[in-house]
Chain A
């Protein structure tokens, strides 16, 4: 009944749509998520007292009444936070020490024998605040004289590619100065200027954040967490608590949806600090759905001021952008979103004159963090709409306009990097053709309007220049293989792709490979984080190396046994064979026990274990003033989505008829999984485009529940999604592959907006395109006419 063996294809499973290796566990209820683990009678529950104010000084915290409640074991406050924590900029304490900066900021924690007692104890914690004026808008935040959220910004430890401005609320300022934008405007026949807005949205993983921490009697920590980043969590917590990484062990079971929210450190820190108070007891910290909406990361808000100029023949000459990121109370992770959006600010276009400023602005809003696309869905919302507006002004077809200006291999991009070969033009052609671009189709009723639109995108993995991966393969007695990886399965299919790569390289059937899961920092090989769509490419390279290492050892041993040249040998379908002598030996006869030498001379070989690692070695920095440099990123994945839709003019309702989604993935290791990412990304993108907005009023979330914050359900999906795979190989990708997990999310919203504009002649400049907003826009247009 093993689903995998049925579909296993030999000789190579690369490029085959094998079924997911985790599917059987997941359909039987066997797959273990963090909250499914059983900790026995010693388990205690942590709960957090959170700030009700967006901005305030903590005058006094008194936990004595909470501690007196029967069933309460301990309490923590800011005094139990040792050092700052953060990924790129260490700007937060696990529990606030002196100041709170958003509604939900952790002020104190209580540990009790049950969740309900912990809840009750939280209400008994007395906190006295001195309320401060909040910053509720990034444009307010950058103004001189605005209340300062982080007066100590200049003291924080920061990555060298981030540029904070102490004495202001600007946690990072990234600039591009290329060519001469001011001089270029006068050569343009058409100039369009427009502001776009993107509200905060939430990742909404179906599994909320959960972490269980246990500190043993010797002070060592074990953390079980729903995590995209077990190694980064170990590292950041070790630094914040001044501990050795070796004394912290993170065990990360399956993740019930991440989308970036479970990268870096969030609730895990609170669990660890609480567990230190009750040595020997595991302490569980589980966010409620309400807490998940605003106490975990949210996607940052954005105000994008954009100006584009082109010549009458359609050539884009200049682009100017100002991005004001509503980055929230802490920008430890968000500072790099600002950077990524700066160095990608032109979108995938060839533009000789560029002036871009991307500001990461502290606000008293929930903490902005990475979310599927890392800034790209937000900036493409504006980029792709203004490109349509320019094409309109020029009277040019939007596909033709994009084909004329889109980046191609060999072009210099916005930062001066020479583009590797990309299949963007092919994506544009195929996606537009799939919805019969250029053919007018009638609406289904007189009060409905039909429209088609498209958007293109690019995205590079945004990460430190030297983010690394490692892997090992270890043979078992029957020649099955344990594959050690540190990358996480968060639904994107990484375990399946890893299995395919190991099987293909080793020359063994797919179902001989078993991932050594859960990822456990004590035993698993290092992986930076499961983010940025980087695993297929980066971890994939490490797996191939590890498998090649093992294969080499095997061939050497057998070659010696047969007295042949290893180059004449190969491993196929679990056997070592010789092309020369036509000898064959099953792997199980030698991968653990080795082989005897002739004439009773003893033995040769030993248990086979191969290892491999990968780290890009060619990344260089960008000039601080101009944003120019040789190669700031590893590669860009590009793509195009085309949308055919109908709008009901009486209700403002958008109905998606067809969405074509084309991406250049280099090489689809598992085409079906690639298509599954496209479908999921289209629906998540459409959900944010039409339904989603975390409403913040004076910093207080207004809709932290599924009733008030709607996400797409089964009845909201497009009638048809047409996934299209384009394959222009990546030179340093395994089999040419590059990542695609995030990308289908990126162009969905602007493609819908462009199709809405085509249908109605109105532009929606701020997400989401709710029926109410669309209806009002139609009314406004009628009023004008």
Chain B
């Protein structure tokens, strides 16, 4: 299979890679770069566990081909904390028990980050709508929504 040379930023670090045409961004992150915070829940764009930011937009990394990220900025859950400071969303998820098994958490944190970046004071309804594509089987979502609201309130 043909391979392509790409360069991109992941969590602020410049990377280059030689990737086959059919490799997904999710596989590149997890299996090539061993950046495993981003999870694989379905591989078909239906669960949101693999959500990352690509040029500040949330995408399902299982649906993005690695070749498409050439020249872009990718942010994963590992890139949310800055200079040892947790993102307010991360703090709020800890305080509000927005986490149980934690498998959906990285994708949901990223989706929430994208939401707060475009709407700093979302209503509960808006939060629920923004999370439609992110499944969680454990928490029942209530505390996740509480945590996002709290993070928005502290100016996250």
Enumerate chain A interface residues (CB-CB to B < 8 A): 1, 3, 19-20, 22-33, 35-36, 38, 203-208, 254-259, 288-289, 490-493, 672-673, 676, 679-684, 705-707, 711-715, 717, 721
Contact = CB atoms under 8 A, between A and B. Distances in A.
Among A23, A254, A684, which residue has the most Cβ atoms of chain B within 10 A?
A23
Nearest to B131: A714
B90 A715 contact: no
B104 interface: yes
A254 B101 contact: yes
A20 B99 contact: yes
B36 A32 contact: yes
Contacts of A490: 101
A29 B94 contact: no
B102 A22 contact: yes
Nearest to A116: B22
B122 interface: no
A725 B135 CA distance: 27
A20 B132 CA distance: 26
A25 B81 CA distance: 12
Contacts of A706: 42, 44, 46-47, 135
Interface string B64-103: 0000000000001110110011100111011101011111
Contact of B142 (A26, A204, A721): A721
A206 B37 contact: no
B100 A491 contact: yes
Given A27-B93, A713-B132, 19 more contacts: A3-B94, A23-B99, A26-B99, A26-B105, A27-B105, A28-B77, A28-B90, A33-B103, A206-B135, A206-B136, A256-B101, A257-B137, A673-B97, A676-B143, A706-B47, A714-B131, A714-B136, A714-B145, A717-B128
Nearest to A210: B40
A22 B98 CA distance: 12
Contacts of A254: 101-102
24 contacts: A19-B97, A20-B99, A22-B102, A23-B99, A26-B99, A27-B90, A28-B90, A29-B106, A38-B34, A206-B41, A206-B47, A206-B138, A207-B41, A254-B102, A255-B101, A256-B39, A289-B42, A676-B97, A676-B100, A680-B100, A680-B138, A683-B139, A714-B136, A715-B132
Contact of B140 (A19, A30, A707, A721): A721
Contacts of A259: 137
Nearest to B134: A714
Among A20, A26, A712, A717, which residue has the most Cβ atoms of chain B within 10 A?
A26
A680 to B, nearest CB: 4
Interface of B: 30, 34, 36-44, 46-47, 49, 76-78, 80-81, 84-86, 89-91, 93-95, 97, 99-106, 109, 127-129, 131-145
Contacts of A684: 137, 140
A28 B81 contact: yes
A711 B137 contact: yes
B123 to A, nearest CB: 13
Nearest to A35: B40
A289 B44 CA distance: 9
A24 B84 CA distance: 12
A28 B78 contact: yes
Nearest to A706: B46
Contacts of A207: 39, 41, 101, 103
Contacts of B42: 289, 705-706
A324 B44 CA distance: 36
A52 B51 CA distance: 34
A613 to B, nearest CB: 27
A517 B131 CA distance: 31
A705 B135 CA distance: 13
Among A28, A257, A258, A672, which residue has the most Cβ atoms of chain B within 10 A?
A28
B128 A715 contact: yes
A705 B99 contact: no
A256 B140 contact: no
B128 A714 contact: yes
A206 B49 contact: yes
A713 B97 contact: no
A683 B140 contact: yes
